[in-house]
Structure 1
Amino acid sequence: MYDRTFGTEWDELSREEAVRRAFALGVAEGVGNRRSDELDRVMEAFPGAYDRTLVELAYDEGRTKALDAAGDADGPEEVWDALVDGEGLPRGPPARDALPGAITNLTLTQPPREGLPSSLDFPSMLRK
């Protein structure tokens, strides 16, 4: 499934492409394929710990989603089609889903609030 969608003939990857591939590799393992050497190649393309962590998180998220979806599907192809489209794009955003709960709960990932910051707002006891 992975080889058919992505192929393994590449020399360089962008961070976004690496995350997409890692997610797909996780989905492939989640439906019964063995862990591919391709994941190691993708990770070796990035020497920095930050990029490698993103790749690992995307892989784990793909694997987790595939394992969750496998119970409701009729086979590996159906799980793959439900999670990865024909162009290799995840059907859901892997980067946001791959973030640990502590990070996603931070206000950095939320849109800004409307109005005054709470530190400049009147306390409730001063409102009528």
Structure 2
Amino acid sequence: MYDRTFGTEWNELTREEAVRRAFALGVAAGVGNGRSAELDRVMEAFPSAYDRSLVELAYDEGRTKALNATDDADDPEEVWETLVDAAGTPRESPVGAALPGAITGLTLTRPPREGPPSSLDLPSMLRK
């Protein structure tokens, strides 16, 4: 599935492409293909620990989604089609894979709210 969609003939990857590939490798592993040597190759393309951790998070996210999807479908091809389109793009945004849950839960990923201060979200301890 992965080889058919992406191929393994590449020399350089952008961070976005690496996250997409790692997500797809995770999906392939979740449907029974096992951990691929391609994942190690993708991770080695980036010297920084931060980029490698993003790739590993994307892999884990893809694998988790595939394992959850196998509850609804038994056919690995069907699970693959549910999670990855023909171009190799995850059907759901891999942002969850690229950012840890603690960060995505914070307001850093949301745009600032507009309006007077009374309409802003404040912790209950700051309200009268």
Same fold (TM over 0.5): yes
Q: Deviations over 1:72-119 (max 9, x none)?
A: 01310000000000000000011235533211121111121111346x
TM-score (normalised: structure 2): 0.88
Distance 1:20 1:114, change over 3 A: same
Amino acid at match of 1:75: D
Cα distance in 2 for partners of 1:95, 1:117 equals 30
Gaps of 5+ in 2: 121-125
1:65 is aligned to 65
Gaps of 5+ in 1: none
Aligned residues: 122
Distance 1:55 1:28, change over 3 A: same
TM-score (normalised: structure 1): 0.88
| Cα pair 1:54 1:95 within 8 Å, conserved | no
Distance 1:84 1:124, change over 3 A: closer
| Cα pair 2:60 2:97 within 8 Å, conserved | no
Superposition pairs of residues 1-128 of structure 1, within 5 angstroms: 1-117=1-117
In structure 2, the residue corresponding to 1:8 is in which secondary structure? coil
Instruction: Tell me how large the CA RMSD over aligned residues is.
Output: 1.9
Aligned structure 1 segments of 4 or more residues deviating by more than 6 angstroms: none
Q: Deviations over 1:47-79 (max 9, x none)?
A: 011111110110000000000000101310000
Distance 1:84 1:115, change over 3 A: same
Q: Deviations over 1:23-47 (max 9, x none)?
A: 0000000000011000000000000
Shift of 1:15: 0.5
| Cα pair 2:19 2:98 within 8 Å, conserved | no
Amino acid at match of 1:36: S
